[in-house]
Amino acid sequence: MHINQLAKPLLLLVALACIALLGVGLYLQLVLEMQPCPLCILQRYAFAAIALLCLITLFLPTTMLRAGAALSALASLTGAGIAIRHLWIKAHPTISCGIDPLETSLNKIFIARWFPALFQADGLCTTEYDPIFGLSIPQWALVWFAIFAIALIFIAMRSKRTA
């Protein structure tokens, strides 16, 4: 199977996985009462951006496949950077991203006001929650961002610019 034939189903899979991960975040927050911190919210924005970019790329001409995949990969790498920062803060509990200018700024963004359940930061980055299958939430986010980045970079590098 040629990469261009595989690219669109893979983009759809990545988008659906990101949407599912946002759903998991809502479940953890609303059902298990794990309040998201500012860095959690930034990671949610990254997952939403990846999903949106992948979905938009699905409807673009094949000639735009590389650009769409590259932008989606950039969003994945940005999310990975945020997850790494979150893990660093968790490893240094004297540092917090809690109630600070980042939280105040994030909560004033129009999307946070429209969808507060999904994009409003109310927790502290250093709060320890029980691991899920042995990993913390930011570790899981980093794993998924890395998987998405690898898949999207592969699409961007291997896709041909044919119509």
Q: How far apart are alpha carbons 144 and 163 in whole angstroms?
A: 31
Sole residue written with tokens 């950039």? 74
C-alpha of 40 from chain center? 9
Provide φ and ψ at 97, rounded to 5°. Answer: -110, 15
Question: What are the φ/ψ torsions at residue 135 (nearest 5 degrees)?
Answer: -120, 150
Reference 51, options 27, 26, 20; nearest CA is: 20
User: How much is the pLDDT for 123?
Assistant: 73
Task: Give pTM, 2 decimals.
Answer: 0.86
Report the C-alpha gap between 130 and 84 in whole angstroms: 19
Digits of tens for pLDDT over the chain (163 positions)?
455 678 889 999 999 999 999 999 999 998 998 888 888 989 999 999 999 999 999 998 888 888 999 999 999 999 999 999 989 988 887 776 655 666 667 777 777 778 777 787 777 777 778 888 888 999 999 999 999 999 999 999 886 654 4
Domains and CATH numbers, the chain: 3-158 (1.20.1550.10)
